[in-house]
Structure 1
Amino acid sequence: MLAVFEKAIGNPPEELRLPSIGSEGKKNRAEILETFRSLLPESTLYSLSNGNFMALSREGSPVHPRSMVVLDDIFCIFLGTLDNMSELRRYYGLSRQATEAMVVVEAYKVLRDRAPYPPDQVIRDLQGKFAFFLFDAKTRTLFAARDREGRVEFNWGMAGDGSLVCSDDPKILQIACGNSCAPFPPGCMFMNGCGLTSFDHPLHKVRAIAQEDDDGRISEVFFQVDLLTRLPSIPRTGSATNWADTTFIQGEFKQI
């Protein structure tokens, strides 16, 4: 799968930009789409406004099935399986034919429209091996998450034009973003208006950790929950806020 959204919508964490090695070949949205089409011409593609798009390859994995659905202008790609599908179908009033992607859309609509549920409460109810990416075209909201153990491949990065790129294919992601990419952290979720948070530890900050090579250059970045840092009871929103109160010290970001 591949999802690419301009910076104004995707709002990727600025920390993804840090790796200074292998960043010369990063592409823009149009170039990423052209490359993806040439590599996987049989994929299902949804072209959205301003060159944004979502795509799903037909070359599915027998271990981790994949599905895509469009409901009420909400686009969702789901990778993997949910172990508690029967319970979730009943809870959301869905038929037995409802797929995992449909369940995620319904869960998102509850979060958006019908109740003041915190996002972590909605995702915590999903049990299984999964990763998903959702876009609400009406509200221009992005919503992505990965299971607690990270058992489904899911990565994200920043393209040459600052776009957010998400994919389960590390090779495609590296073509698009160079080294400005990282595994999406397990047990975490991302919303473009709220930034990256942990659904198991919602009151603890998710930090970017930078790795340096022998010459002191940042070669890669990954994200993990900092259980020693507790967020305020009403968290500030936006990745820019997260970036503003961190600084890079000896290979990792510290709160200031």
Structure 2
Amino acid sequence: MLAVFEKAIGNPPQELGLPSVGLDFEGKRTWEEILEAFRLLWPDSTLYHLSNGNFVASPHEAESPLHPRSTVVMDDIFCIFIGILGNISELRRHYGLSRRATEAMVVVEAYKVLRDRAPYPPDQVIKDLEGKFAFIVFDAKSGTLFVARDREGSVELKWGMAGDGSLVLSDDPNTIQEACGKSCAPFPPGCIFMNVNGLISFDHPLHKVKAIAGEDDDGKICGVIFQVDLFTRLPSIPRTGSAANWADITVVEGE
């Protein structure tokens, strides 16, 4: 799976670009180049054009039987879900859905609750999902992007920053590395990213999710990971925007 959202929509955390600072975007591509390379590699992929150059591509032959994909478009809301919800029967009843409702349909209904009951905390919606999963929701009407991964990180999901500043997400490490060079990282388990609110933990919503940069032997940043800082408590609702993470970046030498 590959998803690309242009900079104004994706609003990627600035920390994702740290490993490429001073390298003139070496090894990074624009969204057009990313799409072209992906289609050459997976010519039979299903391509979903969302808007303004935003897209999601899903190759059928690369799908894992342990982590199947389900996709749905409902009321101008797109969702691609990877994995399985262990409590899907309970969630179907909770949201008034039929027995045939897929995981993607359940997540869309959960997102609608979050959207329509604003400022309803997003962690209250996602913490009820039990299972192994990662998903991407895009609301075309509001331009809202909503991404989450389960607590254990059971389903592979990485994110990165393309050469034109676009946000890139993929469950294939090779795909995202070719698209973003060093400017990519694992999407943190147990976390939610919304382009309007930034990155938060759904188990620890009042604690900051910080970027930790690792350095090589020459003192250059070679990668970034995101993790919950249980020693830094947010005063209330997490600050809006990806810049909220930037102020508290930590550099770890020798990693």
| TM, length-normalised to structure 2 | 0.95
**For residue 15 of structure 2, what is the aligned residue in structure 1?**
15
Q: Distance in 2 between matches of 1:114 and 1:20?
A: 39
CA shift for structure 1 position 87: 0.3
Question: Out of 134, 137, 147, which is 1:134 matched to?
Answer: 137
Q: Name the amino acid aligned to 1:237.
A: T
Does structure 1 residue 44 correspond to structure 2 residue 49? no
Which residue among 241, 245, 253 is the counterpart of 2:244?
241
- Hey, what does 1:78 align to over in structure 2? 81
In the TM superposition, 1:142-157 aligns within 5 A as: 142-157=145-160
- The percentage of counterpart residues that share the same residue type is 75
Offset of residue 16 of structure 1: 0.4
Q: Does 2:92 correspond to 1:89?
A: yes
1:102 corresponds to: 105
Q: What is the DSSP-based 3-state SS (H/G/I as helix, E as strand, rest coil) of the residue aligned with 1:4?
A: strand
Q: Which moved more, 1:49-58 or 1:138-147?
A: 49-58
Shift of 1:251: 4.4
The 1-side partners of 2:118 and 2:219 are apart by 48
Measure how far apart 1:250 and its partner are.
5.0
Q: Which residue of 2 aligns with 1:207?
A: 210
Contact 1:213 1:219 in 2 (8 A): yes
Residue 186 (str. 1) matches residue 179 (str. 2): no
Between 1:108-117 and 1:208-217, the stretch displaced more is 108-117
Amino acid at match of 2:13: P
**CA distance in 2: counterparts of 1:148 and 1:241, whole angstroms:** 22
Q: What are the ranges of 5 or more consecutive residues in structure 1 without an aligned counterpart?
A: none
- What amino acid maps onto 1:161 in structure 2? D
Q: Which moved more, 1:133-142 or 1:116-125?
A: 116-125
Matched length: 251
Aligned residue in 1 for 2:35: 33
Q: Which secondary structure does the structure 2 equivalent of 1:223 belong to?
A: strand
Match of 1:221 in 2: 224
Contact 2:197 2:240 in 1 (8 A): yes
Matches within 5 A, 1:111-122: 111-114=114-117, 116-122=119-125
Query: CA 1:236 to 1:97, structure 2 compared with 1: closer, same or farther past 3 Å?
Result: same
Match in the other structure for 1:3? 3
Q: Structure 2 CA distance, aligned partners of 1:96 and 1:143?
A: 25
| Matches of 2:6 and 2:58, distance apart in 1 | 19
Q: 2:134 is paired with a residue of what secondary structure?
A: strand
Q: Distance in 1 between matches of 2:233 and 2:42?
A: 43
Tell me how far apart the structure 2 counterparts of residues 25 and 247 of structure 1 sit (CA, whole Å).
24
Q: Deviation per CA, 1:84-129, whole angstroms, max 9, x where unpaired?
A: 0000000000000000000000000111114642100000000000
Amino acid at match of 1:188: C
Question: Letter of the aligned partner of 1:90 in structure 2?
Answer: R
Q: Offset at 1:235?
A: 2.6
CA displacement, residues 198-219 of structure 1 (integer Å, 9 cap, x when unaligned)? 0000000000011111100101
The answer to whether the Cα contact below 8 Å between 2:28 and 2:162 also exists between their aligned partners in 1 is: yes
SS in 1 for 2:64: coil
